[in-house]
Amino acid sequence: MSEQVDAMDATTVVDATKPLDVTRLVDDSGALARRMGIVLTEATPERTVGTMPVEGNTQPYGLLHGGASCVLAETLGSVAATLHAYRLFRGYAVGVDISATHHRATRAGLVTGVATALHLGGAVATYEIVVTDGDDKRLCTARLTCLLRKSSSR
């Protein structure tokens, strides 16, 4: 499995021979982020922000699916961690641990996720991701840890 991840991430998402294109981090990260409707609105290693529609990302009861909140959280944290790895050694990041607490539900609108760095190391980066609704009410708090990897295309 690690060979598949290395090959995909190193050659598709991060090409160390070229400047990093932040929009490609979501566009090239696979069909899931696109299918979920995730849009980046701000991206730095310290803070990355994005939105996702509730519509199309619900569970059978019409509520935002908890897994959708986790997809948003991991996408934002992984983008931020990849920006950090790229800044350090033109590398990329892979998520190795995620946990989430769901505080309240929502049925409609757009949710916003804000990934804030808790630790930016040389091998690991950790983020807190807060997902809120249109009224700025907290829906979910997630924590993501990413392993920083060197790109094989270097």
Q: Considering the domain boundaries, does residue 141 fall inside one?
A: yes
Domain interval for residue 96: 2-149
74 is catalytic: yes
* Other CB atoms within 10 Å distance of the CB of residue 133: 19
pLDDT by residue (tens digit) across 70-120? 999 999 999 999 999 999 999 999 999 999 999 999 999 999 999 999 999
DSSP 119-146: EE-SSEEEEEEEEE-TT--EEEEEEEEE
Catalytic residue among 3, 46, 74, 128: 74
Q: Considering the domain boundaries, does residue 132 fall inside one?
A: yes
Its pTM stands at: 0.86
- Supply the DSSP symbol for 32: H
* Count of domains forming the chain: 1
Q: Coil, strand, or helix at residue 66?
A: helix
Question: Residue 49 maps to which CATH number?
Answer: 3.10.129.10
Query: Is the Cβ–Cβ distance between 20 and 28 less than 8 Å?
Result: no
pLDDT band at 31 (very low <50, low <70, confident <90, very high): confident
Q: Considering the domain boundaries, does residue 100 fall inside one?
A: yes
pLDDT by residue (tens digit) across 135-152? 999 999 999 999 999 987
Q: Considering the domain boundaries, does residue 22 fall inside one?
A: yes
Q: Considering the domain boundaries, does residue 154 fall inside one?
A: no
Q: Considering the domain boundaries, does residue 61 fall inside one?
A: yes
